[in-house]
Amino acid sequence: MIVPLATLLVLFPRHTAVYWMWAMRDPHSAILVGTVYVGATIYYLLALRSDDWLETQAGLEGIFTVSAVLLLAVVLHWDAIRPWHLMTLVWMPAYYVPLFFVPYLRLEGGWARFPRSDQAQIPRAAAVWLTVRGFLYAALAAAGFVFAGALTRAWPWAIDPVEARMFLGQPATFILSGLAVLRGNLLWRRHRLPLLYLGSLGVVQLAGLLVLRTPYRWASLLGVLLLLMVSEWIITPLVILGRKRGGTGEPSTREGASVLRVVPSRASAAQYGVMILGVAYLAIGLVGFLPIASINPPSGGGATYLLRHIAVNGLHNIVHIIIGITGLAAARRAELTRAWGRTMGAALLVLFVAGLAQAALVGFPRDQSLLGLVVLNSAGHVLHLATGVVALIFGLTTGLAARAVL
């Protein structure tokens, strides 16, 4: 699925008005966005060749992070997207679906820990550098994402905020290697594929900057920094992987080193379902606080319409976050899943009945305030009814035989 995206954006960057979800003003932007698909293609090919789950899952963390950032960037700029374009209809499911694999793999016991062994490790100097650069890039990506408007004005070519934010998903992933180092994971098997993925990003980005014959403000501060940044993406993998090849005595997974065989500890479908509910409620709770009128237009009285439909206020968003966090925690064990499903399902159904009764008494207004605390409307009632029924089903069908997960 990602090969056509990489091919179109990198080889035909001047024709985004035809094949992409929106028309990009400069072909540099197409390569800027398309690079992530090239890197993902190379990663998947290397993962298939490696045939080592521990190496593969290390790179998947970065892929999932990029997917989440790209999806958030598109949601924030939905007004600029052609919603019924063929590429939009293909792209959106391609980014929604993979995000659910993270809780699924963890819940099924397939997200394994790297063994502490005498296998070869990256040099200490490389570990320090990966940590420092990871947090540096994460901070820059977060600042750029928040202040995308100011960032685009200083960009070395004409670029829209959605494109800048999608690009920032690439450096945001580098913090994962730093976090792995801080957890004491210095194994080559943990860092090899992410380094190769990083190098491929740098090569494509640098080629795009140098080859395209379109205006680029080389003398601007950001123009110079961008060139240095993508060059570092190439240099770091070359130096670290070069030292690894120059070393001796590393046990290879193909030459006798032990390879961890992951035996899943299967959880019940209800646990997985409660985790999905938890992720969904946590997400809408956090999105509800975004002060972006195109996503959460105001409804008056300090309330907003979450995703343009569900009336919420600050307390309502906090309740959604609490439901999400408790659902994620409860999904760890079967007995907790059962208790959460029954309790939360009943509470959501009571909220639905109370809200509907109040609305009937006052003539079914567009918006209402339950006990003067929580803002509600018809879309919110539907959400509470649907998720309450689902949660209650999970609570009533959870078996106690499933083992603890996560």
Residues 274 and 204 in one domain: no
Identify the pLDDT of residue 65.
Answer: 83
- d(CA 233, CA 23) in angstroms, rounded, equals 28
| Domain containing residue 152 | 2-246
What average pLDDT does the segment 59-80 reach?
A: 83
What average pLDDT does the segment 241-248 reach?
A: 64
- 404 belongs to a structural domain: no
Residues 82 and 214 in one domain: yes
Pick the most confident of 53-57, 104-108, 299-303, 311-315.
311-315
Residues 224 and 290 in one domain: no
- d(CA 327, CA 292) in angstroms, rounded, equals 27
Please report the sign of the dihedral spanned by the C-alpha atoms of residue 195, residue 204, residue 236, residue 101: negative
Q: Is the pLDDT of residue 232 over 80?
A: yes
What average pLDDT does the segment 54-66 reach?
A: 78
| Residue from 237, 238, 229, 230 nearest 208 by CA | 230
Identify the pLDDT of residue 270.
Answer: 79
| Least confident residue range of 45-59, 79-93, 105-119, 169-183 | 105-119
Residues 146 and 18 in one domain: yes
Identify the pLDDT of residue 298.
Answer: 84
Amino acid at 382: V
Residues 242 and 276 in one domain: no
Q: pLDDT by residue (tens digit) across 256-276?
A: 444 433 333 445 677 878 888
- 345 belongs to a structural domain: yes
Angle at 277 between CA 272 and CA 280, to 5 degrees: 125
Q: pLDDT by residue (tens digit) across 367-404?
A: 777 777 888 888 888 888 888 988 888 888 765 444 43
- d(CA 37, CA 109) in angstroms, rounded, equals 28
Confidence of residue 248 (pLDDT cuts 50, 70, 90): very low
Identify the pLDDT of residue 99.
Answer: 63
- 366 belongs to a structural domain: yes
- 253 belongs to a structural domain: no
Q: Is the pLDDT of residue 243 over 80?
A: no
Quickly list DSSP for 287-327: HTT---TTTS-EEETTEEEETTTEEE-HHHHHHHHHHHHHH
Quickly list DSSP for 44-112: HHHHHHH--HHHHHHHHHHHHHHHHHHHHHHHHTGGGS-TTSHHHHHHHHHHHHHHTHHHHHHHTT-SP
Residues 298 and 242 in one domain: no
| Residue from 94, 402, 137, 129 nearest 272 by CA | 402
Residues 242 and 275 in one domain: no
Residues 161 and 211 in one domain: yes
| Least confident residue range of 96-110, 155-169, 248-262, 268-282 | 248-262
**53-76 vs 175-182: helix axis angle to the nearest 10?**
130
The structural domain count of the chain equals 2
- 263 belongs to a structural domain: no
Domain stops at, among 215, 246, 277? 246
Identify the pLDDT of residue 114.
Answer: 57
Q: pLDDT by residue (tens digit) across 266-318?
A: 456 778 788 888 888 988 888 888 877 777 888 766 788 887 788 888 888 89
**Is this prediction's pTM over 0.75?**
no
- 259 belongs to a structural domain: no
Residues 176 and 277 in one domain: no
Q: Is the pLDDT of residue 405 over 50?
A: no
Residues 318 and 212 in one domain: no
- 255 belongs to a structural domain: no
What average pLDDT does the segment 40-68 reach?
A: 80
What average pLDDT does the segment 65-89 reach?
A: 84
| Least confident residue range of 1-5, 12-16, 168-172, 285-289 | 1-5
Q: Is 364 helix (H, G, I), strand (E, B) or coil?
A: coil
Confidence of residue 233 (pLDDT cuts 50, 70, 90): very high
Identify the pLDDT of residue 406.
Answer: 40
Q: Is 374 helix (H, G, I), strand (E, B) or coil?
A: strand
| Residue from 155, 103, 135, 116 nearest 271 by CA | 103
Q: Is 186 helix (H, G, I), strand (E, B) or coil?
A: coil
Q: Is the pLDDT of residue 159 over 80?
A: yes
- 252 belongs to a structural domain: no
Identify the pLDDT of residue 261.
Answer: 39
Residues 222 and 86 in one domain: yes
Residues 192 and 324 in one domain: no
Averaged pLDDT score across all residues of the chain: 81
